[in-house]
Amino acid sequence: MFEKTLLDNGIRILTEQRTGTRAVSLGIWVENGSRHEERRQGGLSHFVEHLLFKGTEKRSPQEIAEEMDSVGGVINAFTGKESTCYYAKVVDEHLPLAIDVLRDIFLNSVFDPDEIERERTVILQEIASADENPEDFVHELFSLDYFGDHALGRPICGEAEDVSGFTRDDLVRFVADRYLPGRVIIAGAGNVSHAELVDAVAGDFSAVPSRPLEDTGVPPEVGRGLHLHPRKLGQVHVCLGVPGLPHGDRRHYVAHVLNTLLGGGMSSRLFQEIRERRGKAYSVYSFLSSYRDVGYLGVYVGTRAEWTREVIDLAVEEMFKVAEGKVTEDELARARNQLIGNTLLGLESADSWMSHMTRSEMHYGRQVSLDEIAQGVRDVSLDALMALARELFVAETMTATVLGDLDGHSVEGLRFGGVAPETVAGRAIDS
């Protein structure tokens, strides 16, 4: 059963009590991420996330870790483009400890100067290692190529030059400016009582003074064209994307079905055509990302240099086949059922439900039930699928990021559905 309480200062407390489990997942979410950073602030959200575990007025970093380990619990955090989450997962009898530790790090972190310097070196190593996995790194490059210098395109960890210069005042001021009650959600899922959670957190969190919220971040102008990033690698890694849908768009179920049909599994069009029939790739899939005011639908392929142009042609061809209506009712039904099954199975755990519940609140301002999700997917028609495909799969709006060594195999003359993309020289990367 879902319940919600709104504190006077704007903090929202959400719970979903689920029977049949001893697990409880508790998260403190802030509607703040890397897109809310100004140009020289890149990486501040991520730096703050690290530092909240580095000591409070009553706990050292070691004591924070030891207390959670002593009850077999998990405590961690992550920073995204539009939100940051601090979370813990424990057996229900240890929920009071999880509440106390999360509350302590969120409200009472001291930002010790020595800890700041130690964590700075950790983050700089994280930045330095970001390009070690080419399949992951090509997605980072695609974001840069697609969003340009907009904050959505820049890496969440920031750039080494900026991170090296952050001061304690920068970090403390950023928290004061961005961690406002109206952006905070406290969410618990599993064997948790709403009334008990509210009683446990309302006192301290109600004392956080409220301030007016200002809308931050302007919509990005998205890029297009062919972006080449030379690097000595055993494979060439390609991301090909088109503009997608923002959060809240009423056609989001159609977009998810389209993504599933195109490249969402082993029976998808891309997997069957590029890997199974042609043998031109080991890994091939499509992906969907949505933000407050923009989104994209993309395709990833890892292939050999001599096949790069062919696999891009094949991916574009499959996109346009869908837009032209070359989809059967059986294929659509399989994609709908696959998506429903994947979604429902993915929401079996307390932590996944805690995330779903919070994202529903942030993106839609209400809860989206499992029945609503399933029905929304079932209602996707062939006409709606083709209409969205025709809107999204437009040659002139396509962006392709190519990472690797083409080894003399030129992609000149490449066409996106008959349209020659502008070629943009990406930055060379040392191997």
The residues carrying an active-site annotation are: 49
CA distance 194 to 402: 49
The DSSP secondary structure of 33-49, one letter per residue, reads: -GGGS-GGGTTHHHHHH
Assess contact for 235 and 302: CB atoms under 8 A: yes
CA distance 242 to 294: 11
CA distance 132 to 67: 34
For the chain, the C-alpha Rg in angstroms (whole number) is: 23
Cβ neighbour number for residue 107 with a 10 Å cutoff: 16
CA distance 425 to 46: 29
The DSSP secondary structure of 125-140, one letter per residue, reads: HHHHTTTSSHHHHHHH
Q: Which amino acid, residue 53?
A: F
H or E element, residue 196: helix 194-206
Which long-range contacts (C-beta less than 8 Å, at least 24 apart) are formed by 245-249? 245/290, 245/295, 246/290, 246/291, 246/292, 246/293, 246/294, 246/295, 247/290, 247/291, 247/292, 247/295, 247/363, 247/364, 248/363, 248/364, 249/290, 249/295
Assess contact for 284 and 275: CB atoms under 8 A: yes
CA distance 375 to 373: 5
Give the three-state DSSP class for 86: strand
Assess contact for 201 and 104: CB atoms under 8 A: no
Q: Is the dihedral of CA 202, 203, 204, 207 positive or negative?
A: positive
